[in-house]
A and B are shown apart, each in its own frame.
Chain A
């Protein structure tokens, strides 16, 4: 095959005439073993643009969280003319393209639900268009309407009682990472050709429902690809052909991503594993002498600037669950290849370096695919950035690679999907702590006193025993799994029907694999409560109606988070029991059932609706986030806590096991260099034990308290912290969540 000029100097064969980005990367990337000394500071253009963006962010905060909103135009790839951070300095922007016509202006996206789109407007004082209201209530149906048309009474009840919360029935489900690299490597025309072939080959003489749906979807994908070209054309670019150099590669890739965020408001709109891919183009330009290191860093800085600007219009109920305006523009660096070579390139350094050039930031959600086998120089640099910015998360490539290969992306907070080959049906999470209380109270909700779950026998003995509790808890989990899977089946059916992600799916193989991502909240409390019942005496306190309202625990018992096998075995039992029950069900489009132990910031809102628990947690108090041990349960230091979490086998929670730890600088060492070295040791140890994920915060509780009381201080404008599954500017959290973070941090290792 003739090598196109755009591909000059590139090696490999397979990727030339079929879409195969991984093959391209493996044949062309240059592993980098050196240190960070080659990095350059921000250019003047970067400083100017970042300065302008910071002003806009400040104005946005002062206006109550939203700078500007669209009310008249329905968002699409081509709904607007070109938009710039500032039209006067548009020539400084090395990477262009905004979601709307103005920076930080939030688009109107009614397809997930017209009610929510309108509520988002009115919440922030904007008047939604009457005309659009008419169209989307009279002539055009939305996802949310579809879901509520089909919901059963029971589904509405579990939703109302908050045993299932945060379900993607009012907003885009997200968690689909288009392979945006394809736009750069192949150009749109080739991608259209390939999809046309797929359509031709799809379902000859067998028009079953599945085939009809798929043919329609491929057609929508092809239309989306054509639309992407028009969108780029608005900015003066022709992306029909492959990118010729690094600057085009960055721009083409970003246009692919821009198409996604103009058409979808998914809870997670991740960027994917783009760092090493782009390094190939940068390296070629550097060799050809058409790009300098300074210019390369500027390109990455400007791309990251754009990721820092992604915004969606949200309703208060959404913000309660996903606090701080996150979009999960998750972007990965590093990892190890199947052939044993590490995938650290200079570009992995450049992406981390954006946190130095432009300061800390929650977005993009920078993720290091960690392995103890990564070069020491890179591990130390990443840890150094963590010590300085608390903006990075780490995920264990050693447990993910065997499952997902060496070209997976993180599609939201922590979940892996093979880039361009898989998508995920996002399933929020079920409140397992509440389920335990349902088991004790025969399905009656402690907060609403409704018969929400099935009317099983409540426990009437004076003391809780495992003999009585276990069978009831199993039965209740069975019911929960049943209603949970069915609810998700229904939601994703409607999402495909009314809010299909044509732009993202156009950049994924037609024959896509799907995972079905359920989740667990209240994990640590269930473990500790079961341990209390098993190893101590738990007396039940009843109110005048005989309802079980509280528990008095006599004696000591092992608690999760102390590297105590007795408690950690209960953790395994809980997870395995739940997943086995989930797996018994049919899933929509035969998706593979998985689960996660990850709560985002929903641990606070979940806790609000959960009664007293046998582990001593009081009604209404926040649940412990993700897979973290409970507040104050850890008595043996950081590593004991990490060891407990590391015992949870990733194979049973493929959607992720999130662990967030705050470590005071003084605990890590006396100098930043020493702290970075210690952190590398912590992560080497933790991940070599098979753990999945670690959010690392390095600051003291004093800083949090001061930031909560004095959010106006300039040093807190970009003060970023990691919470379960993402990063957030601390001052953008609600007071309640700030207090939760402080309470949690004070219990940690200071």
Chain B
């Protein structure tokens, strides 16, 4: 039973942009990426957080069920949910038993990047991730950078596992929103955006592509934790730049039809 408990950073009763409809968000504790622009560095530590059972989380979430309508449900976010894939799978299994829609908000990365070698050999990911995906109604997948070298520079980690996960989601036909944080000078050059776009064109499960403009609202957390902030002086992108990036990323991508506006 022990591995079925989750390390929770916090809850948000009202999520309206993290998946379709109104959703209860579970922020898990622990992440192995070290993204330069992370606005939640307080979720990095894999040993912190509060311990919750899936049943207790769902009891809490169901207090908001009347707000969810037909589209809403729960979203598990991070930190990085894949670090606790088995427990999240248990959570989602129980959610399905209660008739609750499940959404996974992930950056697709964990150590060791178990999903790469195996994926290449068998077409499948690690067992616990496969189990999780079997009870996941939709995924919000954050792709930080398409270029492995620059990905590593930006996040401290390799992106091969993330790409493999994206492919597997497409294979399984799990509807997915792709997200990309637009950081001036880091992720906004046309070449990178075009390369990302070429990859996205190969996927068949995309419902939305969202550009998340870099913002500086999380900096105070870095200061509080005493971690030097690497993007000091980087300004949020202009509205025009966001629109332009949006245009490039959408080009030629085949979208799933969606009931969502």
Contacts and interface: CB of A to CB of B under 8 A. Distances in A.
27 contacts: A563-B13, A563-B63, A637-B12, A639-B13, A639-B22, A639-B67, A640-B13, A640-B63, A643-B13, A643-B63, A666-B17, A667-B14, A667-B16, A669-B17, A670-B210, A673-B261, A677-B261, A678-B16, A678-B21, A681-B22, A681-B67, A682-B22, A684-B67, A685-B22, A685-B65, A685-B66, A688-B66
Interface string A559-596: 00001000000000000000000000000000000000
A685 B16 contact: no
Contacts of B222: none
Nearest to A668: B16
A640 B68 CA distance: 13
A670 B243 CA distance: 13
Contacts of B16: 667-669, 674, 678, 681
A749 B22 CA distance: 14
Nearest to B208: A670
B242 to A, nearest CB: 11
A689 B68 CA distance: 13
Contacts of A669: 16-17
Nearest to A677: B261
Contacts of B108: none
B89 to A, nearest CB: 25
Interface of B: 11-14, 16-17, 21-22, 24, 63-69, 72, 210, 261
Given A668-B16, A669-B17, A681-B22, A636 B11 contact: yes
Contact of A682 (B11, B12, B67, B210): B67
Contact of A678 (B13, B22, B65, B210): B22
Nearest to B15: A637
Nearest to A636: B13
Contacts of A670: 17, 210
Contacts of B24: 639
Given A637-B11, A669-B16, A749-B14, 13 more contacts: A563-B13, A639-B22, A639-B64, A640-B63, A673-B261, A677-B261, A678-B16, A681-B16, A681-B67, A682-B22, A682-B67, A684-B67, A688-B66
A672 to B, nearest CB: 10
Given A670-B17, A673-B261, A685-B22, A636 B67 contact: no
Contact of B13 (A637, A684, A688, A689): A637
Contacts of B210: 670
A483 interface: no
Interface string A480-504: 0000000000000000000000000
Interface of A: 563, 636-641, 643, 666-671, 673-674, 677-678, 681-682, 684-686, 688-689, 749
A637 B14 CA distance: 6
A749 B11 CA distance: 14
Contacts of A668: 16
Contacts of A681: 16, 21-22, 67-69, 72
A671 B64 contact: no
Contacts of B261: 671, 673-674, 677
A669 B22 CA distance: 10
Contacts of A684: 66-67, 69
B21 A638 contact: no
Nearest to A688: B66
Contacts of B14: 637-640, 667, 682, 749
A638 B25 CA distance: 12
A638 B67 CA distance: 11
B182 to A, nearest CB: 14
A686 B65 CA distance: 10
Contacts of A682: 14, 22, 67
B70 to A, nearest CB: 10
Given A668-B16, A677-B261, A643 B64 contact: yes
Contacts of B21: 678, 681
Nearest to A643: B63
A643 B13 CA distance: 10
Contact of B68 (A637, A666, A685): A685
Contacts of A640: 13-14, 63-64
Contacts of A686: 66-67
A749 B24 CA distance: 15
A685 B21 CA distance: 12
Contacts of A666: 17
A35 to B, nearest CB: 15
A725 to B, nearest CB: 24
Given A636-B12, A677-B261, A685 B64 contact: yes
Contacts of A689: 66
A492 B143 CA distance: 68
A366 to B, nearest CB: 24
A636 B210 CA distance: 26
A500 to B, nearest CB: 46
Contacts of B11: 636-637
A333 to B, nearest CB: 23
Nearest to A563: B63
A563 B63 CA distance: 9
Contacts of A674: 16, 261
A638 B13 contact: yes
The 10 closest A-B pairs by CB, nearest first: A685-B67, A639-B13, A637-B13, A638-B14, A685-B66, A640-B13, A637-B14, A678-B16, A639-B14, A681-B22
A673 B66 CA distance: 21
**Max chain B C-beta neighbours (<10 A), residue from A637, A641, A671, A688:** A637
Contacts of B67: 639, 681-682, 684-686
A286 to B, nearest CB: 32
Contacts of B63: 563, 640, 643
A696 B230 CA distance: 39
B68 to A, nearest CB: 7
Nearest to B217: A750
B240 to A, nearest CB: 17
**Max chain A C-beta neighbours (<10 A), residue from B12, B14, B261:** B14
Nearest to A682: B67
A689 B66 CA distance: 7
A684 B71 CA distance: 13
Contacts of B72: 681
A637 B26 CA distance: 12
Nearest to A646: B66
A124 to B, nearest CB: 45
A524 B175 CA distance: 43
Nearest to B66: A685
Contacts of B68: 681, 685
A329 B200 CA distance: 55
A644 to B, nearest CB: 11
A686 B66 CA distance: 7
Nearest to A670: B17
A5 B70 CA distance: 50
A53 B11 CA distance: 49
B261 to A, nearest CB: 5
A28 B13 CA distance: 44
**Max chain B C-beta neighbours (<10 A), residue from A563, A668, A681, A682:** A681
A686 B67 CA distance: 7
Contacts of B12: 636-637
